[in-house]
Structure 1
Amino acid sequence: MAYNKQPSAPPQAPPIQYLPAFVAAAQLGSFRAAAQQLNVTPSAISQQIKSLEQRIGLSLFSRQGKELQLSQAGEEFFSFAAHSLGHYQQGWQGFAEQFLSPQIRISMTDYVANRIIIPRLADFMEHSGIPLEIHTSSRNQNLQANTLDAAIRFGTPPWPEHHARVISDAQVAMVASPEYWRQHPLTCRQHWQHQTLIHARRVTNDWQRLEQSQGYTITARQQLMFDSYETAIEAAKAGLGIMLASFPTSNQELRSGVLQAHSEKRFSSGEHFYLITKPNDHKEKRYQQLFSWLSAVFAEL
């Protein structure tokens, strides 16, 4: 009668706590140097490596006189042990930044950062004690796919897996430089054919929304496309055309006179300014402080 021999189970992996001593000794070529780096005694390093070798059943180091070298097995073990330890340390750093750090990493457009947040940032950090790390982007960032905690967005929900708080309502109005309005008056429909329309977003056609609210098609002389609100505002200030500015964020440009609204009439954009946050119970109280501050700032614009 024949019996099928069952393959023996592979040995269990040694405990991961042995890896720092082994990797340090392999990289530095010295138990003493590894001990100094890890703030332990040389005998502790020697004992951990001895225990590691006993668990594996192989010698990981060989000595050529006074020189400490990896054995063939040691070199193979080091190739994945160092990678595993580095991956763990990198993962821990991300975990600590997300759940243990008081800092909030927040994304926003250049315009919001430069005109609204940065001029008031010192006051917020002084009174809240919350350090902000500001990232600027004209694109909506997926908070779940990176280390960001929050974002200030102009748009409409939903944003899956994010918590959205309304900072401020938004309206739009046609604005241009005073010189542009002098050279290109807009007092009747026929005047549209002499106008240049500035677009601040490539994905959303804000002028098309205005057409729908006005009930007629706008036929302009030319269109200028920009991928950010910041550059669109600068183009309007330079007298290149008309743009649909968002309020209350652009109140400053009107008060300073660098831009003028076509009329006092403003239109509902159907969008709002939001604080978007990544779910995190550890930072929820800080999110709420940030939201309260942003709401007050936008209300005063």
Structure 2
Amino acid sequence: MQLPVRAIFVFHAAARAGSISRAAEELGVTPSAVSQQIHALEIQLGLSLMHKSGRRVVLTEAGERYFSSIGDEIGRIAEATAAIRGYRSVTALTVRATPTVSNKWLLPRLSSFLDAHPDIEVRLDGTNEPTDFNRELVDIEIRHGDGRWPGLFVEGMGEESFVPACSPKLAAPGSLAPEDLPDFRLIHSVKSQAQWSRWFALAGLRPETRWRRVLFDRSHMAIDAASDGMGIALESTMMMEREFAAGRLICPVAVPPKLCIVTQWIVCPRDHLRHKKVLTFLDWLREERAARRDLRQAPDEVAGAEPVS
């Protein structure tokens, strides 16, 4: 059965107004047209919905039940129609990134992309789960890992420098030597590619002291914990830019060993590169990457550290 949408809306208007003439005025049609639509609906349903009582209409029991059933739905359709009027056309771009990249790197910059491209509406999906591009509607991803994902377009976000970082309330910038760090609680990011054991090896140390430590499975939690004075974290300066700039974090080691790794990668199927929205976002990511590379004063230098090669 074909749904008599127009007749249903006319019946709803008449039932709500309690009058054929008022419904006709609201709909911009003649009272005769309203009566004809309601009559046609009654014939299709095989029952009477309303009858006249003077200048008003009175709903039958079936009409009351029908009006009650469709009232909320008609209201929602009317609200959606009013809301969509004049709604500007936008292009939706879904970006997936780890919670740390989303919170610590993308969010502080995202407004510049949105301001430059008001026709693109971004949905940011912050998760550690790698995208299954065959099943999920994700346009482009910034993925943590080693960059080895055959069959996909993969481009590094650039080297990240990993340095010890803590609140200035815990230690002053450049006030500690590498061998002093085991005396403090060390914050571990368990999924990070840069671990304390590797950093100490680069410093030429094999700490004998049993470490006091706290472990997190998200780097943004480790960064926040270090900012709160919980201990010393080993994290990427790329992810700690805001905290270093605001003075919430500093590098307490005067001459930290150099530990640089590419851990974040731009990933998507190659056929996604045919889409303008993906290329626009990719170009913007490259510009932001170049801006980081061109900085004359890195966050760890601001914090008082002088990494050695």
* Superposition TM-score tier, normalisation by shorter sequence: 0.5 to 0.7
What is the match of residue 291 of structure 1?
282
Instruction: Please say if residues 196 and 224 of structure 1, whose CA atoms lie closer than 8 Å, have aligned partners that are also in contact.
Output: no
C-alpha distance in 2 between matches for 1:228 and 1:36: 63
Q: Shift of the alpha carbon at 1:168?
A: 1.8
Instruction: Please say if residues 192 and 219 of structure 2, whose CA atoms lie closer than 8 Å, have aligned partners that are also in contact.
Output: no
Which residue identity is paired with 2:234? L
Of all paired residues, the percent bearing the same amino acid is 22
Aligned partner (choices 39, 42, 45) of residue 53 of structure 1: 42
Matched, 1:19 2:8: yes
What is the match of residue 301 of structure 2?
none
Instruction: Please say if residues 28 and 34 of structure 1, whose CA atoms lie closer than 8 Å, have aligned partners that are also in contact.
Output: yes
Instruction: Please say if residues 104 and 133 of structure 1, whose CA atoms lie closer than 8 Å, have aligned partners that are also in contact.
Output: yes
Cα separation, partners in 2 of 1:82 and 1:107, compared to 1, 3 Å: farther
Which residue identity is paired with 2:65? E
Matched, 1:272 2:264: yes
Q: Match of 1:223, SS? A: strand
Instruction: Please say if residues 170 and 247 of structure 1, whose CA atoms lie closer than 8 Å, have aligned partners that are also in contact.
Output: no
Cα separation, partners in 2 of 1:27 and 1:296, compared to 1, 3 Å: farther
Aligned partner (choices 191, 203, 206) of residue 206 of structure 1: 191
C-alpha distance in 2 between matches for 1:38 and 1:141: 52
Deviations 1:79-128, CA, capped at 9 Å, x for gaps:
444466568789999999xx95346576773433553223x25xx52x43
C-alpha distance in 1 between matches for 2:284 and 2:182: 44
Matched, 1:117 2:110: yes
Matched, 1:68 2:57: yes
Aligned partner (choices 163, 168, 171) of residue 174 of structure 1: 163
Cα separation, partners in 2 of 1:171 and 1:228, compared to 1, 3 Å: closer
> Structure 1 length as normaliser, TM-score?
0.61
Q: Shift of the alpha carbon at 1:55?
A: 1.6
What is the match of residue 3 of structure 1?
none
Cα separation, partners in 2 of 1:256 and 1:79, compared to 1, 3 Å: closer
C-alpha distance in 1 between matches for 2:78 and 2:131: 24
Matched, 1:222 2:213: yes
> Structure 2 length as normaliser, TM-score?
0.60
What is the match of residue 304 of structure 2?
none
C-alpha distance in 1 between matches for 2:142 and 2:259: 21
Which residue identity is paired with 1:272? Q
Q: Match of 1:259, SS? A: coil
Structure 1 residues 141-290: aligned runs within 5 Å: 153-156=142-145, 166=155, 168-169=157-158, 171=160, 173-177=162-166, 178=168, 180-182=170-172, 185=176, 187-188=178-179, 191=180, 193-198=182-187, 205-206=190-191, 210=195, 213=198, 219-223=210-214, 225=216, 229=220, 232-251=222-241, 253-254=243-244, 258-260=249-251, 262=253, 263=256, 265-268=258-261, 271-274=263-266, 284-290=275-281
C-alpha distance in 2 between matches for 1:32 and 1:280: 56
Cα separation, partners in 2 of 1:292 and 1:42, compared to 1, 3 Å: farther
C-alpha distance in 1 between matches for 2:132 and 2:58: 45
Q: Match of 2:288, SS? A: helix
Structure 1 residues 86-97: aligned runs within 5 Å: none
Gaps of 5+ in 1: 1-11
Q: Shift of the alpha carbon at 1:294?
A: 2.7
Structure 1 residues 4-43: aligned runs within 5 Å: 12=1, 14-35=3-24, 38=27, 40-43=29-32
Cα separation, partners in 2 of 1:296 and 1:90, compared to 1, 3 Å: farther
Q: Match of 1:58, SS? A: coil
Deviations 1:248-293, CA, capped at 9 Å, x for gaps:
3434555676422752522436x4254779x999x94233322322
Cα separation, partners in 2 of 1:192 and 1:36, compared to 1, 3 Å: farther
Instruction: Please say if residues 187 and 231 of structure 2, whose CA atoms lie closer than 8 Å, have aligned partners that are also in contact.
Output: yes
Instruction: Please say if residues 19 and 85 of structure 1, whose CA atoms lie closer than 8 Å, have aligned partners that are also in contact.
Output: no
C-alpha distance in 2 between matches for 1:95 and 1:157: 44
Count of aligned pairs: 266
